[in-house]
Amino acid sequence: MDDVIKTGIGELDTMLGGGLLDDSLVLILYDTNSFGWVLGVEIFRSLVNRNGFGVVTNYSFPMSLLQKYGKMLGFNVKELGESRNMAIIDVFSAVNGIISDLPFVYSPGEIDASTYLPKMVSVYHEILREIGERKPIGLTITLDGFAYLFGEESAMKLLQRNLVMKESARITERRRRPVNIFLLNQDRVSKRFISWISQYAEHIIEFTHGEAPGVEKMVVRKSLLPEFEPCTAEFRFSKGKIRIIPERLEV
């Protein structure tokens, strides 16, 4: 199928029913002690490495800490940005009055819920010139950080308005559509917020940490591909590397 994109992670593609739908939202759900968010970063890295352009929207971390998280995974944030293969929209720093000196970091400036959409759209259109003919790969770090900065009610309204704008752009604009990966710590938001965003995601992958460090339960909760079957796996993380061991659910 032309509208299915391989993640480059074989076990995951099989669990999803073949890969990711083009122009889709991938929701990664995890808890406080989970390394499930790493899978989202690995999907992002794999897609960017295959003629993609990464657009990271940062709501949660100072840039120095973001780079440390990347280093743990062997992901050189500065190198990828300076090679013009990734841009970062740094909302966290903008809200806290910090100005980055890195050329690939974009600031929306002073921002609140009332100015969020026009300012973010303006920044994204600026980044589009860098993207060119490459496929945009979005990574939101993190959706719970977004909800914290603007409040859950405002966050839901902003996300819904953004979805309407994206649907309009599909009709009026002739450019490559993005794959967006949302990282969401379930412990930091309400069940209502999770339920609300889940209805808009084409793919949902959930992680639950166990007693053994670095060993977790991974469940593909949702995938809108016709070959998808509900499935679970053991997810392992060690020394910056992941391993997925699938196990078919009895249905």
Q: Using 50, 70 and 90 to split pLDDT, how confident is the model at 174? A: confident
Q: What is the mean pLDDT of residues 82-97?
A: 96
Q: Using 50, 70 and 90 to split pLDDT, how confident is the model at 172? A: confident
Q: Tell me the two tokens of residue 146.
A: 């977004």
- CATH at residue 243: 3.40.50.300
Amino acid, single-letter form, for residue 117: L
Total domain count for the chain? 1
Say if residue 220's pLDDT is above 60: yes
Q: Let me know: does 56 contact 92? Beta carbons within 8 Å.
A: no
Give 73's DSSP letter: T
pLDDT digits (tens, 9 = 90+) for 113-171: 999 999 999 999 999 999 999 999 999 999 999 999 999 999 999 999 999 998 888 88
Please tell me the predicted confidence (pLDDT) of residue 171. 82
The C-alpha atoms of residue 218 and residue 14 are separated, in whole angstroms, by 14
Q: Picking from 168-177, 211-220, 240-249, which range would have the lowest pLDDT averaged per residue?
A: 168-177
CA dihedral 116, 174, 9, 198 (to 10 degrees): 40
Give 238's DSSP letter: E
Nearest-Å Rg of the Cα atoms of the chain is 17
The C-alpha atoms of residue 26 and residue 181 are separated, in whole angstroms, by 5
Please work out, in degrees rounded to the nearest 5, the angle formed at the alpha carbon of residue 31 by the alpha carbons of 25 and 36.
55
Please tell me the number of Cα atoms within 13 Å of 178 on its side-chain side: 23
Please tell me the predicted confidence (pLDDT) of residue 173. 78
φ, ψ at 202 (rounded to 5°): -75, -25
The C-alpha atoms of residue 18 and residue 6 are separated, in whole angstroms, by 7
pLDDT digits (tens, 9 = 90+) for 12-34: 999 999 999 999 999 999 999 99
Say if residue 1's pLDDT is above 90: no
Nearest Cα to Cα of residue 64 among 35, 96, 93, 94? 93
Q: What percent of the chain has pLDDT over 70?
A: 98
Report which secondary-structure segment, H or E, holds 126. Answer: helix 116-131
Q: What is the mean pLDDT of residues 170-181?
A: 86
Q: What is the mean pLDDT of residues 43-56?
A: 96
Q: Using 50, 70 and 90 to split pLDDT, how confident is the model at 176? A: confident
Q: Using 50, 70 and 90 to split pLDDT, how confident is the model at 250? A: low
Residues 6+ apart with CB under 8 A from 174: none
How remote is the C-alpha of 101 from its chain's centroid? Answer: 24
Q: Using 50, 70 and 90 to split pLDDT, how confident is the model at 112? A: very high
Residue 60, SS3? coil
Say if residue 45's pLDDT is above 80: yes
Say if residue 236's pLDDT is above 90: yes
CA dihedral 7, 59, 110, 154 (to 10 degrees): 100
Say if residue 78's pLDDT is above 90: yes
Q: What is the mean pLDDT of residues 192-215?
A: 95
Range of the structural domain that residue 224 is part of: 4-248
Whole-prediction pTM: 0.95
First to last CA, the chain: 26
Nearest Cα to Cα of residue 180 among 85, 57, 2, 39? 57
